[in-house]
Homo-oligomer: A and B are copies of this chain.
Amino acid sequence: MTTTGFDYGPLLRGDLPAAAARWNGFPKYNFIGGHNAPENIPVDELIAAATRVLKREGPTLATYGLQSGALGYRPLREFLVGKLKRHAGIDCNADEILVTSGSLQALDLVNQILLSPGDTVLVEEASYGGALTRLTRLGVKIVGMKLDEGGIRMDALEQSLKELKGRGVRPKYIYTIPTVQNPTGSILSTERRAELLRIAAAYGVPIFEDECYSDLVWAGTRPAALRGMSRDGGVIHIGSFSKSIAPALRVGYIVAGWDLLSRMLGCKTDAGSGALEQMVLAEYCAPHFDSHIDTLGKALKLKLDVLVDALAEQFGTAAEISYPQGGIFLWLKLPDSVDTSKLTLAAGKEGVAINPGAEWACDAEWGRKRLRICFANPSPDVLREGVAKLAEICHREFGVPLRSANVGRAAS
């Protein structure tokens, strides 16, 4: 490794995020991140799609934005118009969709046009770690929304908004993952969605609806999206192909009115997201999307059940799980004596990677008894082994579960 002699230190901005750590490969038991099942990547169909679309439109790669402008490859946006109507009850046209480099860029763009330091937003008390990190970096105040098994508790939300209004605070948005909530895996009912829309409108607060996981629902169907139910456009909707097709493609999207998309485009300084992914996705998805997510959903459910069985076997009643309604992760609570941030460090040293609840919660202390396990990527065997190893480490560090896996097995 070359080290540079030139000292850039004094020239760096003072307020930078921490330096990244070097990448040393994936951990053996990779229970973090939104990775998907390698065996479910539709490789042959993607090759066929790439071949077809490049044969037909390859020369358009010579122009920025292909022949579609800054909103993204038009056939992909047109596919999304149909998909969003069919699955999520969203009526929109292709000019109300901005294709982004993953839903992470979507998150950044929404934040960029709305948030300044000192602003307030409402976020589910357990939520996507990447969203929380962004908000913290932006110097935004995060007010947690209480959750129960059905998602956001509307009484508590209304109470929070009332208090904020009393203090003269108009929050910039209510961030919610209503369909397969991250990390709890719950789905907000149609009734609660209606109530959420009513409350948000009453307080003049837009809803920021993140539907990254909503294509993977065990029941096969899901309630209409908040964006679909809204009558006034007070909902910004984002989604992604990362969980439904493949995360490495980095293709997400934003559904919003031109009043907002035109401002986001002003901040999207990358001259468009990658064309090949957009072209291949459009070509692949039009004929295959629905059957693919059906197959993928069934495969993921099998992995989830392996994970749930392994947790029951290894942790017994010590692990209180929220059985998710879809998706790729499971949220669980361990007894109060366990600190999952410490557990994450100890497990990490032995190749078991988990998300500590403190990083997935508005209140780190509340999160510290909880953790998230992603189950889409590992094979069933790796899931079983990893959970056994996690139980062993947790037993060693915290005496929980009372009998470690090995002892349990020896006794049976």
Cβ contact within 8 Å between A248 and B58: no
Q: Which of A40-48, A143-151, A345-353, A364-372 contacts B (4 or more CB under 8 A)?
A: A40-48
Closest-by-CB residue of B relative to A274 is: B274
Chain B residues with CB under 8 Å of A270's CB are: 101-102, 104-105, 108, 250
Cβ contact within 8 Å between B65 and A23: yes
Is A88 among interface residues, defined by CB-CB distance under 8 A? no
Q: A108 to B41, alpha carbons, bound, how many Å?
A: 32
Cβ contact within 8 Å between A1 and B62: no
Q: Mostly helix, strand, loop or mixed at chain A's interface? A: loop
Is A80 among interface residues, defined by CB-CB distance under 8 A? no
Q: A50-B51, A206-B6 are in contact. Are A272 and B257 (CB under 8 A)?
A: no
Cβ contact within 8 Å between A272 and B248: yes
Is A203 among interface residues, defined by CB-CB distance under 8 A? no
- Give residues 88-139 of A contacting B (CB, 8 Å): 92-93, 95-96, 101-102, 104-105, 108, 112-116, 134
A240-263 near B? 1/0 per residue, CB < 8 Å: 000000111111000011111111
Q: Which residues of A contact B (CB under 8 A)?
A: 1-6, 8, 11-14, 16-23, 25-26, 33-41, 43, 46-47, 50-51, 54-55, 58-71, 92-93, 95-96, 101-102, 104-105, 108, 112-116, 134, 170, 172-173, 206, 231-234, 246-251, 256-263, 265-267, 269-277, 280, 376-377
Excluding A3-B259, A8-B260, 20 further A-B contacts by CB distance (< 8 Å) are A1-B258, A3-B233, A4-B260, A8-B206, A13-B116, A14-B116, A16-B113, A19-B266, A20-B261, A23-B68, A36-B63, A38-B60, A41-B62, A43-B54, A43-B55, A47-B50, A51-B51, A63-B248, A247-B271, A274-B277
Jot down 8 A-B pairs with beta carbons below 8 A, ordered by A: A2-B93, A2-B233, A3-B257, A8-B114, A11-B170, A38-B63, A102-B271, A250-B273
